[in-house]
Chains A and B, each alone.
Chain A
Amino acid sequence: EVQLVESGGGLVKPGGTLRLSCTASGFIFGSYTMNWVRQAPGKGLEWVSSISSGGTYIYYADSVKGRFTISRDNARRSVDLQVSGMRAEDTSVYYCARGGSGYGAYPMDVWGQGTTVTVSS
């Protein structure tokens, strides 16, 4: 079964740091672009970051650029999101989502269950 499982969420103080992790199973992880998407309470979806299959190409939303860092370890079948300089507006459910394999643009076809991050003093 194709599956993504996120972990690492929790309560963090403003300015603090957290490392979110997503572990994949059921597919050839190293062939796929991976993404993080977040959703603030009661709000819509916001794309956060993407990393290509080999880790060469990385993209961030302007709202997180300079504060968040995406990385992947294909041997461990995992993609991480280090979130630092946390702000109240970063409070969200963070979803890991699979993109495409190969060259071209693809949507996100497999999603994890999400991990909740709350920024509060």
Chain B
Amino acid sequence: AIRVTQSPSSFSASTGDRVTITCRANQGISTFLAWYQQKPGKAPELLIFAASTLQNGVPSRFSGSGSGTDFTLTINYLQSEDFATYYCQQYYSYPWTFGQGTQVESK
């Protein structure tokens, strides 16, 4: 199975900050990578797919980049509603695998 490692596992930030989360796969997955946001008690929501394509309705302050094994989720000008846990997921091959998650907390 492809292993997907996210970093950091958590950190504190303030509104207005620029935030970067990284995801690394242990083998090449082209751009078959998605990012999800999950808030407590809620289902995950798709933010970005194909490594860099914004899902409909997702604010443009979110962006993704990368291909192969290294990927990045960036949130420009963090808003209060962005405090949440973020997961990357590879869908290049089964079994699909998620990163362990990154919790973005308010400083």
Give chain A's interface residues, CB within 8 Å of chain B. Answer: 35, 37, 44-47, 50, 59-62, 95, 105-109, 111-114
Nearest-neighbour CB distance to chain B for A70, whole angstroms, equals 13
* Contact assessment for A47 and B98 in the assembled complex, using a CB-CB cutoff below 8 Å: yes
Give chain B's interface residues, CB within 8 Å of chain A. Answer: 1, 32, 34, 36, 38, 43-46, 49, 55, 87, 89, 91-92, 94-101
Given contacts A106-B91, A107-B49, A109-B49, contact A47 B96 (CB under 8 A): yes
Cα distance A61–B99 in the bound complex, in angstroms: 15
Cα distance A53–B95 in the bound complex, in angstroms: 18
Subset of 30 A-B contacts with CB under 8 Å: A35-B96, A44-B87, A44-B99, A44-B100, A44-B101, A45-B36, A45-B44, A45-B89, A45-B98, A47-B89, A47-B95, A47-B96, A47-B98, A50-B94, A50-B96, A59-B94, A62-B1, A62-B95, A95-B44, A105-B32, A106-B49, A106-B91, A107-B46, A107-B89, A109-B55, A111-B43, A111-B44, A111-B45, A113-B43, A114-B43
Instruction: Beyond the given A50-B94, A108-B89, please list 13 additional residue pairs across the A-B interface where CB-CB is below 8 A.
Output: A35-B96, A44-B87, A45-B36, A47-B95, A47-B96, A62-B95, A105-B92, A106-B49, A107-B89, A108-B34, A109-B46, A109-B55, A113-B43
Nearest-neighbour CB distance to chain B for A5, whole angstroms, equals 11
Nearest-neighbour CB distance to chain A for B17, whole angstroms, equals 24
Cα distance A37–B97 in the bound complex, in angstroms: 10
Residues of A within 8 A of B36 (CB): 45
Nearest-neighbour CB distance to chain B for A88, whole angstroms, equals 21
* Contact assessment for A108 and B94 in the assembled complex, using a CB-CB cutoff below 8 Å: no
Residues of A within 8 A of B97 (CB): 47
Cα distance A111–B38 in the bound complex, in angstroms: 11
* Contact assessment for B95 and A59 in the assembled complex, using a CB-CB cutoff below 8 Å: yes
Q: In this complex, what residue of A is CB-closest to B38? A: A45
Cα distance A109–B43 in the bound complex, in angstroms: 11
Q: In this complex, what residue of A is CB-closest to B85? A: A44
Cα distance A35–B38 in the bound complex, in angstroms: 17
Residues of A within 8 A of B87 (CB): 44-45
